Amino acid sequence: MKTITEQFGERLKEIRTQKSLSQEQLSYLADIDRSYISDVERGARNISLENIYKLASALNIPPYLLLLNSANLLDRWDIILEELDELILKNPSLRGFVSGYLAESKIRRFFKNDPRVSQLIKFDDHDRKNKHDLVVTYKGQNISFEIKSLQTKTVRQSILPNIAKEASFQCDASDKRKIFVSNGESIETTCLKCGDFDILAVNLFAFNERWEYAFALNRDLPRSQHKKYPEEIRKQLIKSIIPITYPLQPPFVADPFVLLDQIVSER
């Protein structure tokens, strides 16, 4: 029978792997030595309560999840797959919420599996100082991504060949916050600020039911047209609702490494 420390180590490794994090990346995020994490995962070391909280924060999960056994979510909630399927399909807001997190998970896996990327960083969703959805280390440069998804209800499919599919996506913050503009003034807005991230990734699953993405540089995104802001401030804010077509049209591209190379060369 496995000891408690062995069970905890297996659970930690299971969640770390699900999050597409290496021991080195988790070590960096949790500020815990990598060899310590290795020992814990092998069941060779007892772990303090303080370090359980550090690891949970780095993994962006509540601490109690590290203490559960490896039973899957359906077993723990005592539901069957059909119940979960019905619940998600009948609740658009829940479907959008789940799809958004899946989009982030899929794109992290995409970059993790590419040897050109040396490190991935996913900040805590509640970290106000680091609001990027993902930071990719590429050719020695940290490049930040904002990840958005198509609004399913806006998708317009054509039955005719060679006619582009159309949709739009919401490109703003989840809540209103204070930002500073170029003249030093502060404004309260949900708009994203130009330059606050490097690349936008748009989840296109609603077009073809495949995990595909469109990528665009921050500087190439359309600016806000909201009349409540003076023109000079609108130039510094990204438009909240942005249209997109499939096949992709500029400024969107399917290959993020085209934009990553462009950013690296400019820096």
> How far, in Å, CA of 50 to CA of 36, rounded?
14
* Residue length of the chain: 267
Please report, in tens digits, the pLDDT of each residue of the chain (267 residues total).
788 888 889 989 988 998 899 999 999 999 999 999 999 999 999 898 889 989 988 998 878 778 766 556 666 677 777 787 888 888 888 888 888 888 988 999 999 999 999 999 876 554 445 567 899 999 999 999 999 999 988 998 766 666 789 999 999 987 788 888 888 888 888 899 999 999 999 999 999 889 999 999 999 999 998 888 888 888 999 999 999 999 999 999 999 999 999 999 999
Map tokens 């310590």 to a residue.
36
Tokens for 232? 């000079």
What are the two backbone dihedrals, phi and then psi, of residue 215, each rounded to the nearest 5 degrees?
A: -125, 145
Domains in the chain with CATH codes: 4-70 (1.10.260.40), 147-266 (no CATH)
**Predicted pLDDT at 160:** 61
Q: Over the Cα atoms of the chain, what is R_g?
A: 21
- pTM of the predicted structure, to 2 decimals: 0.70
